[in-house]
Chains A and B, each alone.
Chain A
């Protein structure tokens, strides 16, 4: 036993936790971390490859064997964001003399093309943003309200209704695309933003009601009852007490809804053609003059990925809590 009076003068060992000292435990935790890193890297290879391809020139993109080291180029982005026309050899000679060309024009010129204007892609990306954003807001908004009602009120035929809602999710979208296409054409919703928002909201709602009901069921009723006795109406109690408690669930539902409507392909391909066309069906159609423009497709995919990454990143804290829900100690 160390003398208490001498204690401060003695060497202080900071780490005394057994799991940090024991070699066996240390090796195990290092191995686990290493495995996690390796798995993450394997998962990221396709994404990384896509990002690389986006910055490759056309020959580099299709080179065999694949090139890992290459000179980066914005050719893919230029092909994605502009529409171009092929120049004749004479025109190329004239263009090469010009000094007023922007950097994008110069990149196009390498392939003997001249930019004639912006492509449809930025607008399609914007359509995607509008349609999936609005439909996510609706499906989460209505989802919270109906999940709360199902969780708290004696809704007549509750179980049947909930099953009916769930069964909406079991339906493969492809089965209904043709009928919906015909109906949409009749009522003038074909190729409109409203039509797509309606459709995605309807499809996501079943999922968001179920997911959110689980989260709201977890919130003890006593919270809002206490608030109601304390002088608040049910709606005020819902807004001030239930909603803050349900943020985790709302964040998780938002991300899932957003990813679904953001990625949705079959409906978008059938029900939109021009005005409301979203990004997913247009990316594979970025075909240049002859051959598939892999760099442009990769650039489109990269641009398409970024909004979802941003949203997920912003909500990551809530999502992490969502994963551990059930383990949170209640008030």
Chain B
């Protein structure tokens, strides 16, 4: 049983407000992702949970026990840092054994050996055990870091962008391994990232953070399909969502520069709105609107089209390699039931 609850956490550094009333509840066995741009307060949140930083306001509960004044050692959490966290004067084995040899645990060496080799096998780093950490590659280092976290079955794994210093290929494979590991071990994980793909692929639930505040909290499905603000809508999804300013005229929302119109939907009653259209919801081939293809980006599995209509350039994704040519004028429509309406402040209507 592990359960992490944050209540109204606030933290300032000098004059800057790093966290403002953060409340979160991470359930047992959950893979929870904090997603946000640099400086949003993701890492600070992790450090507050670990006890490496003390909040100015609010409370941290681990398994319903108030942990506000507890030392990091007493919180029984594991932290995987972005970089620089393997003890450089020790071998990989000693790094993995280090948490087990802590005065709090003092396990017998036999059990330590068993746990370390077990973790090493899971992460496929058995061949590295005798090596010094300075002679590891970036991917190997992060594997060892993760290993050092899993040897001791902590309450919760706190992971601070563990994949962001790795190259793309490695990141992808380690991402899969991490998710697999989390599911097989049933370990509660709080994972921080600025990479929306990591968030969408791994998370059971996502909280989107911006400027120290939680903007939206929900399943990847909620976040992608019902973004609470334009910020969230732009944060997740590649290519980016199209945001189109439109005004109420003659019974429909119409764009000023282009001949686009959108029917009013459930309760959207504002004069001016921002209409969000995901690139995959722009359907070329048939529809009421016409535009010229300005750019074609074939990616193999899909093709991104830049369609210009009036003063607006829309991004559009079609699956597979498309036969549509540059400069072609085509007609297109929208998946009407999947449009997002936001007010001019960016809030969902």
Please give the residue numbers on chain A whose beta carbons come within 8 Å of chain B beta carbons, in ascending order. 220, 222-223, 225-233, 236, 241, 244-245, 329-331
CB 8 Å contact bits of B120-152 with A (1 = contact, 0 = none) = 000000000000011000000100000010001
Chain A residues with CB under 8 Å of B83's CB are: 222
A231–B50 alpha-carbon span in the complex (Å): 11
A229 contacts B88, C-beta separation under 8 Å:
no
The DSSP consensus for interface residues of chain A is: helix
**A227 touching B71 in the complex, CB below 8 Å, given contacts A232-B102, A232-B103, A331-B133:** no
- Highest count of chain B CB atoms <10 Å: which of A226, A228, A236: A226
Q: Which of A220, A226, A245 contacts B89 (CB 8 A)?
A: A245
B88 contacts A228, C-beta separation under 8 Å:
no
A232 contacts B73, C-beta separation under 8 Å:
yes
**A231 touching B88 in the complex, CB below 8 Å, given contacts A222-B81, A329-B134:** no
B84 contacts A220, C-beta separation under 8 Å:
yes
* B341 in contact (CB, < 8 A): no
**A222 touching B84 in the complex, CB below 8 Å, given contacts A229-B50, A231-B99, A231-B104:** yes
The DSSP consensus for interface residues of chain B is: loop
A230 contacts B84, C-beta separation under 8 Å:
no
A229 contacts B89, C-beta separation under 8 Å:
no
Q: Which of B72, B78, B87, B152 contacts A223 (CB 8 A)?
A: B87
Chain A residues with CB under 8 Å of B181's CB are: none
Q: Which of A223, A236, A245 contacts B85 (CB 8 A)?
A: A223
* B86 in contact (CB, < 8 A): yes
Give the number of residues in B that approach A within 8 Å (Cβ atoms). 29
A31–B47 alpha-carbon span in the complex (Å): 56
B81 contacts A231, C-beta separation under 8 Å:
no
B134 contacts A229, C-beta separation under 8 Å:
no
A226 contacts B81, C-beta separation under 8 Å:
yes
Chain B residue at minimum C-beta to C-beta distance from A331: B88
A330 contacts B88, C-beta separation under 8 Å:
yes
* B228 in contact (CB, < 8 A): no
**A228 touching B52 in the complex, CB below 8 Å, given contacts A244-B89, A329-B134, A331-B134:** yes
**A229 touching B73 in the complex, CB below 8 Å, given contacts A236-B103, A329-B134, A331-B133:** yes
Q: Other than A225-B81, A232-B73, give 6 A-B pairs with Cβ distance below 8 A.
A: A228-B71, A230-B78, A231-B105, A231-B152, A331-B84, A331-B133
Chain B residues with CB under 8 Å of A229's CB are: 50-52, 72-73, 75, 77-79
| 28 cross-chain CB contacts under 8 A | A222-B85, A223-B88, A225-B50, A225-B79, A225-B81, A226-B81, A226-B87, A226-B148, A227-B87, A228-B51, A228-B52, A228-B71, A229-B77, A229-B79, A231-B73, A231-B99, A231-B102, A231-B152, A232-B73, A232-B102, A233-B73, A241-B87, A330-B84, A330-B88, A331-B84, A331-B85, A331-B86, A331-B133
